[in-house]
Amino acid sequence: MRPSILRRLFRRVASTAALALVAATLSTVAAARPAVAAGGLEQVTGFGTNPGNLQMYEYAPAGLPANAPLVIALHGCTQTADAYYTNSGWPKYADLWGFAVVFPQTTSANNALSCFGWFDPAEDTRGKGEAASIVQMVEYAKQQYGSDARRVYVTGLSAGGGMTADLLAAYPDVFAGGSVASGLPAQCATSQSAASGCQTGPQKLTPAQWGDKVRGSYPGYSGPWPRVAIWQGTSDYTVYPANATALRDQWTDVWGIGQTPSSTDTLPGNTTRSVYNDATGKPAVATYSVSGMGHGLAVSPGSGTDQCGSTAAYFLNTICSTYHTGVFWGLDQGTPGGGDQLPAPSGLRVTAVTANSASLSWNAVPGAASYTVHRNGTKVASPTATTYTDTGLTAGTAYQYTVTAIDGSGTPGTASPQVTATTTGGAPAQCFTATNYAHVTAGRAHTTGGYTYANGSNENMGLYNVFVTHTLRESPAGYFVIADSACAT
């Protein structure tokens, strides 16, 4: 979805045929399901009148029981359903947790770059175009698999993320939850010419104004609303991080819960999770900000329960967003938001440091069979005890640690709050004075939601631009603090 290319996109003429009743369609149209890819992905034809001219692919584990959940997974621009099936990790959790996945696909016949039409009212509104085709796929799959109508979810990357937000707004009666990865708020753009502006910086609307775009997508609907996960890389310059802030504002307003998080914690892959609970204390909205990640879907190849996917174009090796999204929705057979997980270990603390080691301890978690220790977002150990000494470190360097409890089935719980251990020795402190933009470019700071934060200390430096200047003090290496008034070295 590069802005320079998006302006050159052409749209097909939308079908004027009205969306037929799905039940009638399914009773009169025969479906063919030839296998099209290794590993179980199959194409479905004849799923409905298909006003959006989309293709339907699906995956379901053998022996799937009735009343299982259903997930709809939307690819990004230039991608295909098969690429999303291969790299996103959704088939792994379909097998592990027991649910079916539908992978809609658009083509260059609809859009020059095979982007879903998240910016076109003829495609992304209730009862029209591609949105209507996707809902027909939902209805077909529900009948085919006996899926639980109360547990249908939609997720998507980039243009697929923009369409995901539009579907959640237009069909809150269909989808129980959604996950928008590097995507756009619902109805951010209503024309192709406005799409690029949304990508680089959506309108500066209040939460209520963003929420009105959702409420106006299905007038008269009053809930229940979908539970929404929002994934965003802080170094995404295709769909800027301000879109994640707008999405948060939009869906917290719809839920009526305000924009102050109920909790914030650190996950692997330099990921910060902020959770916004509903009136009953269950997570309704969650944001996942991946520090330093560009434009793409966060994956983490490996065999661990919380690892998934494979790296490819726009599939970036940081954290398994699919796992955490599934837990947020309760697909792991927990409550929405993962309420049945083991809690975060409390009392994580640094007990000793040397020039090349850091020792940690934490309080035991009842029911934990072991723990995982992450250093700077990467797993480094799986102790069964509540202490660990990390060795082979660099002198005079700051390291961030979190610990997660693992239950007897191998399922990880919630990560602990992060602690910092600074090894002894190393080079003397250095000071750098520059604009916020220059600090980010030099790797001394990062951006989230349009603001700049010092690496290491995570201190807020203000807006991300060339008009704000700060002095940062680095000590130890890679750990920066604001030192505008004085910078002793």
Q: Scan for tokens 């090349």, then name that residue.
A: 356
Q: Are both 191 and 146 inside the same structural domain?
A: yes
Strand order in the sheet with 357-361: 349-353, 357-361, 387-391
Structural domain contains residue 392? yes
The mean predicted confidence, pLDDT, of the chain is 87
Sign, CA torsion 73/79/85/86: negative
pLDDT of residue 486: 75
Q: Residue 248: is its pLDDT beyond 70?
A: yes
Q: Which residue has the higher pLDDT, 415 or 54?
A: 54
Average pLDDT rounded to a whole number, residues 150-168: 97
**Active-site residue, 108 included:** no
**Above pLDDT 90, what percent of the chain?**
65
- Domain encompassing residue 449: 430-482
Q: Three-class SS of residue 141?
A: helix
Q: Residue 330: is its pLDDT beyond 70?
A: yes
pLDDT of residue 489: 57
pLDDT of residue 460: 85
Q: Residue 5: is its pLDDT beyond 60?
A: no
- Please report, for residues 2, 49, 133, 175, 225, the alpha-carbon distance to residue 18 in angstroms, rounded to integers and kept in the order given: 32, 9, 11, 21, 26
Structural domain contains residue 334? no
Q: Residue 240: is its pLDDT beyond 60?
A: yes
Give the domain-ending residue among 265, 298, 329.
329
Q: Which residue has the higher pLDDT, 238 or 2?
A: 238
Structural domain contains residue 335? no
Q: Are both 461 and 317 inside the same structural domain?
A: no
**Above pLDDT 70, what percent of the chain?**
89
User: What is the per-residue pLDDT across 57-70, written as a single tens digit (0 to 9) for each?
Assistant: 999 998 898 999 99
Q: Are both 445 and 404 inside the same structural domain?
A: no
Q: Are both 134 and 173 inside the same structural domain?
A: yes
Q: Residue 284: is its pLDDT beyond 70?
A: yes
CATH of the domain at 17: 3.40.50.1820
Q: Are both 55 and 107 inside the same structural domain?
A: yes
Q: Residue 233: is its pLDDT beyond 60?
A: yes
- In this prediction, residue 28 has a pLDDT band, given cuts at 50, 70 and 90, of very low
CB-neighbour burial class of residue 468 (10 A; exposed 0-12, middle 13-18, buried 19+): middle
Q: Are both 261 and 133 inside the same structural domain?
A: yes
Q: What token pair was written down for 156?
A: 């998507």
- The single residue of 158, 274, 289, 321 carrying the catalytic annotation is 158
Q: Are both 314 and 455 inside the same structural domain?
A: no
Q: Residue 338: is its pLDDT beyond 70?
A: no
Average pLDDT rounded to a whole number, residues 74-95: 96
Q: Residue 271: is its pLDDT beyond 90?
A: yes
- In this prediction, residue 455 has a pLDDT band, given cuts at 50, 70 and 90, of confident
pLDDT of residue 354: 93
Q: Residue 36: is its pLDDT beyond 60?
A: no
pLDDT of residue 424: 86
- In this prediction, residue 410 has a pLDDT band, given cuts at 50, 70 and 90, of confident
Q: Are both 281 and 143 inside the same structural domain?
A: yes
Q: Are both 220 and 93 inside the same structural domain?
A: yes
Structural domain contains residue 487? no
Q: Tell me the pTM.
A: 0.66
The answer to whether 65 touches 98, Cβ cutoff 8 Å, is yes
CATH of the domain at 395: 2.60.40.10
Q: Residue 2: is its pLDDT beyond 70?
A: no
- Give the whole-angstrom CA distance, residue 64 versus residue 34: 19
Q: Are both 104 and 172 inside the same structural domain?
A: yes
Structural domain contains residue 340? no
Structural domain contains residue 339? no
- Give the whole-angstrom CA distance, residue 139 versus residue 146: 10
Structural domain contains residue 341? no
Q: Which residue has the higher pLDDT, 336 or 253?
A: 253
Give the domain-ending residue among 329, 357, 378.
329
- In this prediction, residue 485 has a pLDDT band, given cuts at 50, 70 and 90, of confident
- Please report, for residues 220, 224, 234, 237, the alpha-carbon distance to residue 217 in angstroms, rounded to integers and kept in the order given: 9, 15, 29, 28
Q: Which residue has the higher pLDDT, 302 or 410?
A: 302
Q: Which residue has the higher pLDDT, 124 or 27?
A: 124
- In this prediction, residue 413 has a pLDDT band, given cuts at 50, 70 and 90, of confident
Q: Are both 231 and 180 inside the same structural domain?
A: yes
Tally of structural domains, the chain:
3
Give the domain-ending residue among 299, 329, 359.
329
User: What is the per-residue pLDDT across 12-25, written as a single tens digit (0 to 9) for each?
Assistant: 333 322 222 222 22
- In this prediction, residue 336 has a pLDDT band, given cuts at 50, 70 and 90, of very low
CB-neighbour burial class of residue 33 (10 A; exposed 0-12, middle 13-18, buried 19+): middle
- In this prediction, residue 35 has a pLDDT band, given cuts at 50, 70 and 90, of very low
Q: Which of 278-287, 305-314, 323-332, 375-384 has the lowest mean pLDDT?
A: 375-384
User: What is the per-residue pLDDT across 198-214, written as a single tens digit (0 to 9) for each?
Assistant: 999 878 899 999 999 99
Q: Are both 418 and 309 inside the same structural domain?
A: no
Structural domain contains residue 337? no
